[in-house]
Amino acid sequence: MSNPTILDQAFHTIMKRMVKTGQAPFYTELASELGLSVEEGKKTLHDLFTSGIPGWPYPRTDLIASFAPFNNLPTQYRITIEGQQKWFGQ
């Protein structure tokens, strides 16, 4: 099996944080988790979104707005697991 690319690692890191906390990480946190500089973390985040994954940043920012199947902003699609509602769907 080949080693995961930095985009694979970024996807996994973001998804893991969304599942655990219901909130997406900032690109600075992503950079720290991946052992990258802050600028490399920001570039990796933008590269991930331009790779075709179903998600997007909030317009004109570097903040994650949506990362399928989750949305980082409140929506009418509330996800409840084991009595906890800390997620929103796309």
Per-domain boundaries in the chain: 6-89
Using CA atoms, how far residue 78 sits from 18, 50, 63, 70, 85, in Å, is 14, 27, 21, 10, 7
- Structure confidence by residue, pLDDT tens digits, 39-61: 999 999 999 999 999 999 999 99
pLDDT at 3: 73
pLDDT confidence band for 4 (50 / 70 / 90): confident
What is the value of pTM for the model shown?
0.90
Pick the CATH number of 6-89 from 1.10.10, 1.10.260, 1.20.120, 1.25.40: 1.10.10
Grade residue 2 by pLDDT with cuts at 50, 70 and 90.
low
